Structure 1
């Protein structure tokens, strides 16, 4: 079940549909938040496949328990769990609500009995609205505070983001708790993640906290982009245009969502841990932009003109070319999003993962090794459609243009640090 490097092997494909019980001593009730999201959905599948279904409780938004259960099952199927196994999820696996919710007395009691918590819930948004981000931090603290004095709780795993480190680090970002100095950020979201980490540590010192920071999470080693095309569509744009505002030799640190989920699960159920902060990342094995584009050529059986680095002001032309005349109205929005990803690529960061490698033998499958699955599952889907799905809030059907204009519009100068 927890073998790491198994690219498209029969054994790994079987692990998606077979229950593989793992020893999880001391895990009585495991509470999972964010189970209908990209990372949380894959964690859900990993926990079910690990034989923890009867000990699993998911906090899920919904109009009712039945609605929340339907959303949970849909997330599990989208993340690779067969329908017949998803049907084994019942209302016993659900608490209706979200991080800032006032829970019923019965649900409060269920939460109070948790031995382990994985908090995957996060507002992974391009929003610049300060109240929206402040509420995200506040709700995280409110939820975590329920467990701070618990005698049953053994571990509270909080999923943050590697880019919460900001933009003023060295080329290799260490696995360590953040200091209190200010640092620049490309997005308010990563600053809010940093704030949440700090406040969890300082305001809830009795919480058995373990912070896990994934780098960019892209694709699934078997399912490709079927669970989500998040970020991958950006590479499609760059591959098609052969231009981007980053050097070809710059490395981009990425992991698959299933490797990320297995790491989170192992860090949760392992009886003892050496540290309280970990990166889930490719680290020194991160591919360069050139290696990614070459792998995409091979996967798509294409060859294009040589890659050339462009100026940030050329990204509108790149966006317009990628979307075509029929979708030109979205080009300005795409330009701004590309600007954020280009600014990240320009940092040339790799996130040190030596702690995780030593702790659980973490050896993630390189992005270039499963990129062909991402290409295969994407080629019939237009870039604009993938982009819309990337920005869609789970459970809503709000148009992308409306969401971006009201919630996720970026400053005109996307390189201005926030």
Structure 2
């Protein structure tokens, strides 16, 4: 079933294995979107390891079934599935299409058999894309409309983001549906995810909707940055500069992609849930920036001057130190990204996860405990190269 390579608590391990062992009652057919992405790829591996491959269908873009299948297998291998097991993913596990696109009649019939939907598909790149609102709002709503009158659907799990809360919350952000009022956001992505949450509830009130909001997803507890280096390069820059605009005591609520995927999988297949909104987060265990810098010192075997706060205007110099003066384009990109991420770090948010801990015994491995794997798998990889994960 689930393969354990990291020191998780016994309760967390048992809670993951038990609900999916054997028959997985009530789970007839699972539809997963976004399976070629970071969280979705880890979910794909988690569901396969749980013995659900014969009940799994993935909506994947591709020029053909063979092309989509190849992309799906590459994603699974990147997220830790052995190549030999990835070859077991077959054409029956693939549905070629896009979130808001048309589907052939045969695939429409397959949708009628779906009992559980896990919707991970989204446009999440740091640069604002012109189609971001279309993908994250319009296409998601159109996709959900396919299941609004379904008699077989038992759960529609939508993966959002904890930062959909906006920038005007208290330090401890609660797990609850958002109100209908206006909210301020640092990037259009989080605004679009908040809006689609609201519209899903309003437009399809009978949809068996469960919203899951991961916090900052960085690295993998076993594979480090190999599945994706998204965001880890920011920690490398801040560690090297030992300066940032946030206080050393500010918390950064980070979870690994594999812990995130395990939690989502459990929430998707558990027969009954107490709530319809959950944070997948470190919560009160979120480390401070100072603790992260210390853990990176230990992982890299280095130490430097004491961490200090800087001003936004200093980001240009920090970026030039990273890329050198002969790569001004990359330097400007780093400076722009640091401004965005600084806005999140300055909020000092921790996302309450008491619901999830009670529901499934959630005990994520702390970022500072698996950060060494992210450092190890980043050796020899330039920061500019790692940035590509966030600027596709």
Q: Above 0.5 in TM-score?
A: yes
CA contact (8 A) 1:22 1:50 kept: no
Q: What is the count of residue pairs matched by the alignment?
A: 383
* 1:383–1:63 CA distance, 2 compared to 1 (3 A): same
CA contact (8 A) 1:228 1:390 kept: no
Q: Are residues 1:168 and 2:180 paired? A: no
Match of 2:277 in 1: 277
Match of 2:69 in 1: 69
CA contact (8 A) 2:35 2:75 kept: yes
Between the aligned partners of 1:129 and 1:363, the Cα distance in structure 2 is: 35
Match of 2:205 in 1: 205
Between the aligned partners of 2:68 and 2:345, the Cα distance in structure 1 is: 37
Q: Are residues 1:267 and 2:267 paired? A: yes
Can you list the C-alpha shifts for 1:34-89, whole angstroms capped at 9, x where unaligned? Answer: 00000000000000000000000000000000000000000000000000000000
Match of 1:336 in 2: 336
SS at match of 1:347: coil
Between the aligned partners of 2:118 and 2:129, the Cα distance in structure 1 is: 27
CA contact (8 A) 1:4 1:364 kept: no
- The Cα of 1:391 is off from its aligned counterpart by 1.8
Match of 2:15 in 1: none
Deviates more, 1:53-62 or 1:309-318: 309-318
* 1:194–1:228 CA distance, 2 compared to 1 (3 A): same
- The Cα of 1:2 is off from its aligned counterpart by 5.8
* 1:4–1:187 CA distance, 2 compared to 1 (3 A): farther
CA contact (8 A) 1:225 1:374 kept: yes
SS at match of 2:346: helix
Match of 1:241 in 2: 241
Between the aligned partners of 2:84 and 2:21, the Cα distance in structure 1 is: 18
**Equivalent residue runs for 1:169-318 within 5 Å:** 169-318=169-318
Between the aligned partners of 1:85 and 1:289, the Cα distance in structure 2 is: 39
Between the aligned partners of 2:272 and 2:389, the Cα distance in structure 1 is: 39
CA RMSD of aligned residues (A): 1.7
* 1:8–1:277 CA distance, 2 compared to 1 (3 A): closer
Between the aligned partners of 2:219 and 2:326, the Cα distance in structure 1 is: 27
- The Cα of 1:136 is off from its aligned counterpart by 2.8
Between the aligned partners of 2:321 and 2:265, the Cα distance in structure 1 is: 41
Match of 1:33 in 2: 33
Q: Are residues 1:46 and 2:46 paired? A: yes
- The Cα of 1:129 is off from its aligned counterpart by 5.1
- The Cα of 1:21 is off from its aligned counterpart by 4.3
Match of 2:145 in 1: 145
Can you list the C-alpha shifts for 1:253-277, whole angstroms capped at 9, x where unaligned? Answer: 0100000000000001100000000
CA contact (8 A) 1:134 1:192 kept: no
Can you list the C-alpha shifts for 1:76-129, whole angstroms capped at 9, x where unaligned? Answer: 000000000000000100000110110000001111210000000011023445
SS at match of 2:59: strand
Can you list the C-alpha shifts for 1:177-201, whole angstroms capped at 9, x where unaligned? Answer: 0001111100000000000000000
Match of 1:403 in 2: none
Deviates more, 1:146-155 or 1:322-331: 322-331
CA contact (8 A) 1:234 1:338 kept: yes
- The Cα of 1:130 is off from its aligned counterpart by 5.8
SS at match of 2:31: strand
- The Cα of 1:132 is off from its aligned counterpart by 3.5
Can you list the C-alpha shifts for 1:276-315, whole angstroms capped at 9, x where unaligned? Answer: 0000000000000000000000001111111111001111
SS at match of 1:325: coil
Between the aligned partners of 2:329 and 2:155, the Cα distance in structure 1 is: 47
Can you list the C-alpha shifts for 1:189-248, whole angstroms capped at 9, x where unaligned? Answer: 000000000000000111100000000000000000000011100000001111111111
Can you list the C-alpha shifts for 1:131-155, whole angstroms capped at 9, x where unaligned? Answer: 5313431000000110111010000
Between the aligned partners of 1:233 and 1:254, the Cα distance in structure 2 is: 14
CA contact (8 A) 1:4 1:259 kept: no
Between the aligned partners of 1:148 and 1:5, the Cα distance in structure 2 is: 39
Q: Are residues 1:116 and 2:102 paired? A: no
Q: Provide structure 2 residue ranges, at least 5 long, that are not aligned to the other structure.
A: 13-19
Between the aligned partners of 2:353 and 2:142, the Cα distance in structure 1 is: 30
